[in-house]
Structure 1
C-alpha cells in the first residue's frame, strides 16, 4: 500500500460515515477509494481499474470525465456558479425547464427544481396534498404506495416507502400510507396476468372504498428499483393510471431511477403512453454529474396554486441550491449529447445484447430469475431454484458475488440476494461483453462452483 493510500484510508475510517453501510464491518477492511474516472471505468488511488457496473448508483449516462459535459460546467462557471430561484431566475434553469417540458410525457408543463430524488418526491407529496387543500377538498390527505417501494430517505419519502429493513425503525415518525402489492410475476403463482390482476383489484377496491380521502398514488413505473428490480408486467401501469383518473386521485410517477433512457425509452411512462399528474426525475438528469432533481406538474396542478396573494395558496417550499446554474447547464449538455448520439434508441440493441449474454444464467441452479428492462437488470439468487427458497440474508450471498466481481474488475452493489447490473448507457458492446463475463463468472464462483454447492 502506498503512503497516500494509508493516510486516506485512516482519515476515511476516522471521519466519514458512509450511507447504507454498517460502519463497524466496513472499517475492518481496506476501503476502495476512487480517484478518477474515464469512460465507463473508475480508477482507485492505487491505480486499479474497475468497470462501473452500476453507473455509480444508477445515475451515470455518458460515462465519466466526458469532455462535452466538463466544458458545459466550465463555461457556466465563467458566468455564475449559483443564483437563487426564489423570486429570481437564471438562464440554464429556464432553458432546462423548457427542454424538460418538451421531452417528458404530455401535460407535464411546469418544473419545480430540487437537489435529489428524495427531495423531488417530498415536493410531489406536498404538492399533491396542497393541491386538494387549495381546491377545497381537504379530506383528501392520504397516499397509496406499493409494497417494497423506495422513494428516498427524507421523512415524507419514507412515509410512502415500504421496505421494512430501511423504513420500519422510523415508523413512529411517519404518516401512514395505504399499501398495495407491486405486481411481481416471479413471486405470484398466476404469473404476469395473475400479478397484474391482484394489484389492480387491490387498487380498485381501495379506491372504491376510500377515494374521497386519498390524494395520490405514487408508483415506480415499470421497474421497482430498491425492491429488487421488479419488472411490472405489461398493461398494469396503464390500468393503474386509468383507475386514478376514474376515481379522481392524482398519479405521481417516481422516474428518478427509470428516467433518461434507462428502460429503453426516455421515460418508463412512455412504454405505456402514461402521462402522470406529477413526475419526479433525478439521477440521470445531469448525466450523473451534479445533484439536480425536478418535480414536473401539469397545468391543472399548477393552477390550483395560481391565485391572488391574499388567498395564501402559494407553495411554500424551496431549497438553497434549487435550479443551480452549473447543474442545469450540464443537464442541458447531457440531453443534447443524448440526442446527438441517439442514446435512447441504442439502449434497445444494447439491452438485447446483454440479454443474450446473460441467458446462460437461466441454467444456473441458484439463479431464480433474471429480470431486465432496457439496461436495468436484476439477477435473483436463490438457495433452491425449484422451490424458489431464498438465501438467508445473513449469508450475504449478494455481497459475496459483488466482492468477487470487484476482484475481477467491476463494481456493483447488491439488493440483498439480487445482483444489480445497471451499466452506463454509453457502454459499448465490447465493454458490455466484458462486464457480463465478469458478472457471470462472479455468480458462478460464489453459487455454482463445486465447493459452494
Structure 2
C-alpha cells in the first residue's frame, strides 16, 4: 500500500521533484537488510538507507544501548558539561585512528562536521594572524553537504547550481576518477597535478585548506581515484603549509574495506569529518576530529580566539551510546569477515554482470562499494528505479551510475541474486 495523495502532500521530501515524483511508499518496519512496506512486502536495502545502516536495521544491541542510556541521561547541554558516553566514544575512536587525531568536536550530521572543519581551518590561520589564508581547494565533483560552506567547497558537484551566487569562491581541481581497465588514468592524474601546481604557485599563501573525499567521491557517482594520487596531492599541499581535510562522512566505518580510507593512504589529515555510519543508522551524530596543534591555536586569554560554534543536541548521550555499541560491533571478527566477503563478492559479480550486459561499463569496486555506469540510463531513470523496486530492491542510481552499498549483514546468496536481477532489468529497459 502507498500513502494517499493527501498524506503525500503533507511532507516535502528531499531530493524530489514533488510535481512528478513516483508514489511515496510507506515503510512501517525494518529488520536486518530489509525494509517492509505497509503490506509487509520486503525490500532489500542495497544502499543502507543513504549509507548509514552499516549493521542493518533494528539491531537489538544498539537499540538496547539507547534504551538503557535513556533511563539515565537522555540529554544535557554540552557547553560547560560533559558525560561518560561522549568521553567513551572518543576513547573508542582513538583506538582505530592515527594517534595525532586526538581532539574531538561533536556536531549533528555530515554537513555540519564539514562546516566545523572549514570554520576551524579558517580561524586557525586567523588566530595565528594570517588573515590572508581564507581560500579553499577542492575537487570537481566533490560533494560535502548542503549547508553553505559545504555547498561552496562542493560547488562543481552539480547539486547546488541554484545557490552559486551565495557561495564563496573555491579553487577547484579536476578529479581523475578511474575504473577497471582505464588506460587514461595516468594522463588524468597528470592534468590534475598540473592544475594543482598552478594554483599553488599563484595562490599558496592565501589557501587555508584542501578538502576531499579520500579514494571515492560518493554523490557524484561513486567515482574512484588511485591512492597514490591522493598521497601526491597531500604531499604537495603540505609543502605549502596548507591544511588537509578528509571528508569521510561516507567512507568511514569500513565502507572502503578499512576502518577509514585514511588507513589505506597512511595519511593523518589535519581534520577528519565523520558521520553517517557512526551510530549504525539509529540517530544523527557527527564528529570533526583534529590534531593538538590545531586545538592549541584556539587557546587564549579571552573568548576572541575560542571556537564559537555549537548545536543544541551536541554530543547527545543517546546517539553517543548507539555509536559506542555500533563501533564495538564493527570491531568484532565476524563483522570484519562479512566486510571481506562482501568485497570479494562485488569483485566477482560485477565482472560477471559486465560480461552478461553490453550496456554496463566502467566497473569499479572499493571495499563494500560496487558501481558501474549504464549507457543511456538517464533516459530510463524513473523506469529503472521502478523496476528495481518491483523486484524487491532499494536502489537509487546516480545519473547513469548504479551502485550497491549494502549493510554488512547481507548474505552471499542475496548479493548473487541482486546482480542477476539488475542485469535482467537493464537488458530489458
**Which residue of 406, 429, 434 maps to 2:412?**
429
Q: Which of 315, 332, 340 is 2:307 aligned to?
A: 315
Displacement, 1:434? 2.5
Give deviations 1:201-228, integer Å, cap 9, x for gaps: 2222211221100000000000111111
Q: Is the 8 A contact 1:216 1:252 kept in 2?
A: yes
Structure 2 CA distance for partners of 1:320 and 1:11, relative to 1, 3 Å: farther
1:107 equivalent in alignment to 2:100: yes
User: What is the correspondence of 1:354-393 to structure 2 with a 5 Å cutoff?
Assistant: 354-363=346-355, 364-383=357-376, 393=378
Q: What SS does the aligned partner of 2:364 have?
A: strand
Contact kept, 8 Å, 2:179 with 2:363, in 1: the verdict is: no
Which of 176, 179, 182 does residue 172 from structure 2 map onto? 179
> How far is the alpha carbon of 1:187 from its aligned partner?
12
Match of 2:9 in 1: 14
Partner secondary structure for residue 76 of structure 2: coil
Separation in structure 2 between the aligned mates of residue 343 and residue 76 of structure 1, nearest angstrom: 24
From the superposition, tell whether residues 164 and 232 of structure 1 become closer, same or farther in structure 2 (CA, over 3 Å).
closer
Deviations 1:362-398 (A, max 9, x none): 2322112112111112221124xxxxxxx6x4x2x34
Alignment correspondent of 2:320: 328
Look up the match of 2:52. Answer: 59
The change in CA–CA distance for 1:241 and 1:300 in structure 2 (over 3 A counts) is: same
State the 1:240 CA deviation. Answer: 1.3
Distance in 2 between residues matched to 1:119 and 1:304, nearest whole Å:
21
Contact 2:157 2:220 in 1 (8 A): no
Tell me the CA shift for residue 164 of structure 1: 5.4
Q: Is contact 2:245-2:270 (8 Å) kept?
A: yes
Q: 1:338 matched to which residue of 2? A: 330
Q: Which TM-score applies when normalising by structure 2?
A: 0.96
User: More displaced, 353-362 or 321-330?
Assistant: 353-362
What is the aligned partner in structure 2 of residue 245 from structure 1? 238
Q: How do 1:188-199 and structure 2 match up within 5 A?
A: 191-199=184-192
1:103-182 counterparts in 2 under 5 A?
103-163=96-156, 165-182=158-175
**2:382 matched to which residue of 1?**
399
Would the alpha carbon gap of residues 444 and 23 (structure 1) be closer, same or farther in structure 2, given more than 3 Å must change?
Answer: same
Which residue in the other structure is 1:450 paired with?
A: none
TM-score, length-normalised on structure 1? 0.91
In structure 1, the partner of 2:202 is: 209
- DSSP-derived class of the 2:102 partner: strand
- Contact 1:222–1:232 (Cα < 8 Å) also in 2: yes
Q: What pairs up with 1:36-75 in 2 under 5 angstroms?
A: 36-75=29-68
Q: Tell me: CA distance 1:112–1:62, structure 2 relative to 1, closer, same or farther (3 Å).
A: same
- Alpha-carbon spacing, 1:151–1:443, altered in 2? closer, same or farther (3 Å): same
- Aligned pair partner of 1:291 in 284, 294, 298: 284
**How many angstroms apart in 2 are the aligned matches of 1:261 and 1:164?**
24
CA shift for structure 1 position 136: 1.0
The answer to whether the Cα contact below 8 Å between 1:110 and 1:299 also exists between their aligned partners in 2 is yes
Structure 2 CA distance for aligned equivalents of residues 270 and 92 of structure 1: 26
8 A Cα contact 1:358 1:440, kept in partner: no
Q: Which moved more, 1:352-361 or 1:171-180?
A: 352-361
CA deviation profile, 1:47-75 (whole Å, cap 9, x unmatched): 11000010001111111111101100011
Q: Distance in 1 between matches of 2:337 and 2:299?
A: 38
Shift in Å, 1:271? 0.8
Q: Following TM superposition, by how much is the alpha carbon of 1:189 offset from its aligned partner in structure 2, in angstroms?
A: 8.1
Which position in structure 1 is the counterpart of 2:428?
A: 445
Report SS of the residue matched to 1:23. Answer: coil
Confirm or deny: 8 A CA contact 2:346 2:365 kept in the other structure. Answer: no
**1:347 and 2:343 matched:** no
Bigger CA drift: 49-58 or 417-426?
417-426
Aligned length: 428
Unaligned runs of 5+ in 1: 384-390, 447-453
